[in-house]
A and B are shown apart, each in its own frame.
Chain A
């Protein structure tokens, strides 16, 4: 059956596989026509600046999804780590405070890993619960008010400019993108993640230490979410318990849009990058054209449903073909 595939079918298949990249290109082409400031260097840097935090969270979540889990506690983690670091800076130097914040992320990752990998609970529902708990903790810590930071150096962590134009935040994101790509493609740990996501039992029988590898993905996801929270707090100069409210599901949707499959074992850092970029570009374009916030919500909902539905449908076709 595969032999008689025409060139047209091949192209369609490639487009479906790289739908996020195609969507980015389509958006870029469409934005040539209306008369907006979309193609100013200011706006393009702004797109990258606003996507960076989601991307950094997305890399961690991608690891968990590839290994067959999912981490929805990242939203709570983002809120908590920002507030925690700003609070801790009153008592210790900034570097230690940031390290403490990331340590908390690691601890939450260990707990997530214990519950999902060791105790075998449903990952997405239990991490949703953990996220709720973390949001509660950040509400308690901040008394439900945004808290700002008095230290001018803290703001520079994200907002400082490289070559007077590119914010550091974007640089961190690009470095982490390269690092995630490297880890997934060229290390034993990365390849084991794919094997575990593909088939947990087969991976276990072939001698991979499945528990510790999958556990590790949750720890990394926790640390990256904590880091993203700190960077977000730094770029806003404020920590707020409401930062993380819509993050986890949005990040997961973006990652799946990029082509990372929820069945596990498929995906990569660049796929997630483009998937999240599509969502952000879409909202940037809609802002540029002047579409109202509520209609934007509706369009975002439709896009998420359409793309995840297509993912499901492709999966169904594959199942039926077997």
Chain B
């Protein structure tokens, strides 16, 4: 292998980093406000909800499946948690919300396992249907209205801290994110179960024949995805201080976009959570930079769509060349 192909390979492998660097340089030159500490702090906050959802989605995609139900899970967790605060107090509500997310994810996983859904497409449609169901439950729960946290009578210091508190100069939600990141990264790369998830994603049949707990991995990845979606929902409504029954809308595609941009393969079996962080960073930075450069949201949708298509295409080309 000569020097040229080596550099090309490294560039393709870390294409997302190249994108990020270019984006930062261009925006910093065009718009000096970009490099102010206020804006950087803003980016860290926008980083919040999506990063959690994307971390969960990473596990599902590495496991060879896909999860569209995060939309419904986020919406339902949001409205139920906020209305529980007055009934049970904030700490119990927080825990109940997280447990509920995990339970909904668990249910998805068990459903897929019982149905023997062995392809991404089947998982896509079943989780889409479940998302409709969860989302409708959220809408029925609030009768379509939005709950404001200022209406509540009990104190909500915990949520206020998650939403806008700082530890030193770093926001609390970012600290929570770092903890989740470290735990999930260790889980995926250093435990037997993490290895099992990757093997099951790479080749299910081979995994099953060599005694890897394929079925347990399937249930586990969906549970993790539900759990992380719930945490994402809590971070989101703590920041906006209102519970919208359609809170999760758009998060599923953005999460998939972030995971794929990071370089985790949609074919399953390959990738890690650190790459996803880069993907989320690119998605957030892109939105922030385009906002600063006063590009309308409509053009932003076009940008996002074309980058998603390009990323999947390049990822695919990369994998095919690697396989030869």
Which residues of chain A have C-beta atoms less than 8 A from B121's C-beta? Answer: 70, 124, 262
Q: Is A134 an interface residue (CB 8 A)?
A: yes
Closest residue of A by beta carbon distance from B143: A294
Chain A: number of interface residues, binned into ranges: 35 or more
Chain B interface residue number, banded: 35 or more
Whole-angstrom CA separation of A132 from B302 in the bound complex: 7
If A122-B267, A262-B122, A312-B115 touch, whether A139 touches B298 (CB-CB below 8 Å) is: yes
Contact B301 A135 (CB under 8 A): yes
Q: Quick one: given A262-B119, A297-B136, are A132 and B304 in contact (CB under 8 Å)? A: yes
Given contacts A136-B305, A256-B125, contact A119 B133 (CB under 8 A): no
Docked complex Cα distance between A253 and B128 (Å): 10
| Chain B CB within 8 A of A252 CB | yes
Contact call A135/B305, Cβ cutoff below 8 A:
yes
Instruction: Give the secondary structure class of A's interface.
Output: helix
Question: Counting CB contacts under 8 A, is A315 at the interface?
Answer: yes
CB <8 Å contact, A298 and B140: yes
| Structural contact, B115 and A309, CB atoms closer than 8 A | yes
Given that A294-B139, A305-B111, A305-B133 are known contacts, is A124 also in contact with B120, CB under 8 Å in the complex?
Answer: yes
- A130 with B129: in contact, given A121-B316, A122-B266, A313-B115 (CB under 8 Å)? no
Contacts of A131 in B (CB 8 A): 305
> Is residue B151 contacting chain A, with contact meaning CB distance below 8 A?
no
For the residues of B in contact with A, the DSSP-based class is helix
Contact with B along A132-154 (1 / 0, CB 8 A): 11111101100110000000000
Best-buried of B126, B144, B301 by chain A (most CB within 10 Å): B301
B:201-260 near A, CB below 8 Å: 253, 256, 260
User: Are B305 and A133 in touch, CB under 8 angstroms?
Assistant: yes
B256: A residues at CB distance < 8 A: 125
A136-B299 in contact (CB<8A): yes
Partner of A125, one of B139, B306, B312: B312
B127-139 to A contact mask, C-beta < 8 Å, 1/0:
0111111111101
Cross-chain contact of B132 among A70, A140, A298 (Cβ < 8 A): A298
User: Is A295 part of the binding interface, using a Cβ–Cβ cutoff of 8 Å?
Assistant: yes
> Which chain B residue has the least Cβ–Cβ distance from A114?
B313
B134 partner residues in chain A, CB cutoff 8 A:
301
With A297-B135, A298-B137 as given contacts, are A126 and B302 in contact (CB-CB < 8 Å)?
A: no
User: How far is the CB of B211 from the nearest CB of chain A, in Å?
Assistant: 19
Does A119 contact B132, Cβ atoms closer than 8 Å? no
B259 → chain A closest CB, angstroms: 11
B302 touches A313 (CB 8 A): no
A110 at the interface (CB under 8 A from B): no
26 A-B contact pairs sorted by A residue (CB < 8 Å) = A115-B309, A119-B317, A121-B312, A122-B267, A122-B316, A129-B312, A131-B305, A133-B306, A133-B308, A133-B309, A139-B301, A139-B302, A143-B298, A144-B298, A249-B128, A263-B119, A297-B133, A301-B135, A303-B129, A304-B128, A305-B111, A312-B116, A315-B116, A316-B115, A316-B116, A316-B118
